[in-house]
Structure formats: C-alpha cells, structure tokens
Amino acid sequence: MEVAGPLLLAFDGERKRRLADGERVVLSVRADGPWVVDVGVVMALASADGTYLR
C-alpha cells in the first residue's frame, strides 16, 4: 500500500516517522516479520507454572 504525507507513522514502542507533504512510502505486511509477544498470555503461563516462585 502506498501512502503519502503529511502524516505520522507510529510503530511499536517509541518509533515514529513523520512524512512531509507529498513524501511517499510503500507499506507491506510480511509473514517473515518480527514475532509479536502476547504479554498477557506469557505472564499467565509464567504465573501458572511457578516461574515467579523460583
């Protein structure tokens, strides 16, 4: 997908990129991109197996 500024692209964490008026970028979704961690699930599993008690 191609998008053009002016706009602000906000990514995970504090990473932000501002596009100037008329500046263009191409965005894509990739299956081999970074993994996403479901923090709630990780914390529940760690709590359930006693990880925090060791």
Q: Per-residue pLDDT tens for 1-14?
A: 999 999 999 987 77
Q: What is the pLDDT of residue 54?
A: 67
Phi, psi dihedrals of residue 39, rounded to the nearest 5°: -60, -40
Q: 12: which 2 tokens?
A: 């995970």
pTM: 0.47
Q: 34: which 2 tokens?
A: 């970074």
Q: Per-residue pLDDT tens for 11-44?
A: 877 789 999 999 999 998 888 977 888 999 999 9
Burial class (CB in 10 A: 0-12, 13-18, 19+), 19: middle
Helices (H), the chain: 39-48
